[in-house]
Amino acid sequence: MPHKAPYSFLWLQAASCGGCSAAALGSDPSFLDGGTPRLNPLAHQAVSEECGAEFTQILNAVLDGGLVLDGLLVEGAVLNGPNGTGQFQMAPGMGRPMNRLIADLAEKARHVVAVGSCAAFGGVVAGLGSRTQAVGLQYDGGEAGGLLGAGWRSKSGLPVVNVAGCAPHPGWIVETLLLLADGALAPNDLDSFQRPSFFADHLAHHGCNRNEYYEYKASAHDPSQQGCLMENLGCRATQAPGDCNRRRWNGAGSCTNAGYACIACTVPGFASSADPFLETPKLAGIPVGLPVDMPKAWFVALAALSKSATPSRVRRNATESRIAVPPDSRSRKPK
């Protein structure tokens, strides 16, 4: 097998809280300092040793064509305001708007990756009331377009690869880069919102440790309780693409495992909803946001049947902060 040069990538931070970088640093080993052999980080805007003039020199070398750029990674929404000028965020030390720098670097890169839902769709920065004209790299909320335009393609022929999430799982980031480095990510490996299907073909609901409570519609009323978070506490895990409950963060945790409802952070517009995150919107007592692919009539019928069949153990434990009634583990005599 012929030797491949390490995959070179550059990480820029647009309008970002830095949470995606913090998530990436949770990968094992950390790839932002060269800890992954197949990857060659040229620079990261916040964590690299190169800063100031040294960082600017790397950017100019890519723009001039003297430095090969395999992957351009952008974290954070792109600010086009005020009035389309992009001057709400200027590229440090370069005297030009960040939106123009990103667009120019995108033309030089073999692949472009949006890290996090802000870079993918506009995310929190483009939420209700925002005056920043924030957009994603190739989406404005759920509409194709964004900074680069719906029909834009990188040198490889791929659209922007959207590693959505707020923040995305570190495994999603690293595995996406490794797939790109090996030429193993094709257009048909992306879903309808250009998210890699290896994680987006799952739901956050898959693997949730509260699934027994969900099955019986035994619901919690407070985040400290063990029951299902969907009916009362705003959980959208049944609608949220992602395998974050199958591969736990740092091998241990997840939002619902910690008692916090899933807010569907991998979905366009999750931060623009007028609904409170930790309260389930209902119509006539029925949750508005139903599980993917489930007709409302079916859900109502199933919920009624499930609640009528709920074991007393499950009903009791749902509103407790810890197991009050353990399963009956007594061995049964064979027939």
DSSP code per residue over 1-43:
------EEEEEEE-B--SHHHHHHTTSSS-TTTT-STTEEEEE
CB-side neighbour CA atoms (13 Å) of 239: 18
Mean predicted confidence (pLDDT) in 206-215: 91
pLDDT over threshold 50, residue 141: yes
Percent of the chain with pLDDT over 90: 64
Structural domains in the chain, sorted by start: 7-200 (3.40.50.700), 211-318 (4.10.480.10)
Q: Are 256 and 208 in contact (CB under 8 A)?
A: yes
Q: Are 288 and 231 a contacting pair, CB within 8 Å?
A: no
Q: Which two tokens stand for residue 46?
A: 């916040």
Strands (DSSP E) contained in the chain are 7-13, 39-44, 71-75, 78-79, 90-91, 96-97, 111-115, 134-135, 139-140, 143-144, 161-163, 282-283, 286-287
pLDDT score at 101: 98
Q: Considering the entire predicted model, what is its pTM?
A: 0.89
Q: Quick one: pLDDT band at residue 290, thresholds 50, 70, 90? A: low
pLDDT for the residue numbered 281: 81
**Four-residue CA torsion sign, 151, 156, 158, 160:** negative
